[in-house]
Amino acid sequence: MRSGADFTQTVRRGHRIGTRTLVLHSVVDEGTAGPEGQQGPLVGFLVSKAVGTAVVRNRVKRRLRHLVAQRLDGTPPVARVVVRALPAAATDPDRVPDDLGYAWSRIARQWQPGYQPAGSRHGRRTPQPPDGEDAC
């Protein structure tokens, strides 16, 4: 994922799962065609200056890239994922693999057919007024 529009669309429209060290945003775009020659899911990383100096930020990004690469096998090719590192990713690097595993398993649920997020209004009936009363 390279364009700012891809990042913005994924962060704004996607599902979000947060942990102490990172936040994952994911969206599945079935209807849109990816870039020419795209062979797999698009993954982007956001590591702000709040995480640390340039050296620290790049170290966090390298770790995240390595950890995400291990999880791409089960990811559908139409998925877009943004991994946002929080400052705790630099101060507690031993926790990052566990947090990423937890968040990735939660976000992967949306890639299953028929997924409905908890608390979604899909499939709920609209409340009916009591007998004898008009709806208007």
Query: Is a pLDDT exceeding 60 seen at residue 120?
Result: no
How far is residue 48 from each of residues 26, 62, 94, measured CA to CA in Å? 19, 14, 20
Query: Is a pLDDT exceeding 60 seen at residue 52?
Result: yes
How far is residue 16 from each of residues 12, 30, 47, measured CA to CA in Å? 9, 18, 16
Q: If you average pLDDT over residues 82-103, what whole number do you get?
A: 94
Q: Given this model, what pLDDT does residue 108 score?
A: 87
Query: Is a pLDDT exceeding 60 seen at residue 64?
Result: yes
CA distance 20 to 14: 19
In 3D, which of 62, 63, 74 has the Cα closest to residue 109?
74
In 3D, which of 32, 5, 27, 31 has the Cα closest to residue 14?
27
Q: If you average pLDDT over residues 16-33, what whole number do you get?
A: 84
CA distance 42 to 95: 24
Q: How confident is the model at residue 36 (pLDDT cuts 50, 70, 90)?
A: low
Query: Is a pLDDT exceeding 70 seen at residue 75?
Result: yes
Q: How confident is the model at residue 121 (pLDDT cuts 50, 70, 90)?
A: low
Parallel/antiparallel/unpaired status of strands 42-47 and 79-85: parallel
Q: Which amino acid is present at 108? A: A
Q: How confident is the model at residue 69 (pLDDT cuts 50, 70, 90)?
A: very high
What topology is assigned to 4-111 in CATH? Ribosomal Protein S5; domain 2 (3.30.230)
Q: Given this model, what pLDDT does residue 112 score?
A: 73
**Alpha helices for 1-112 (secondary structure H):** 4-13, 54-69, 88-91, 96-107
Token couple for 13: 């429209």
More confident residue, 104 or 114: 104
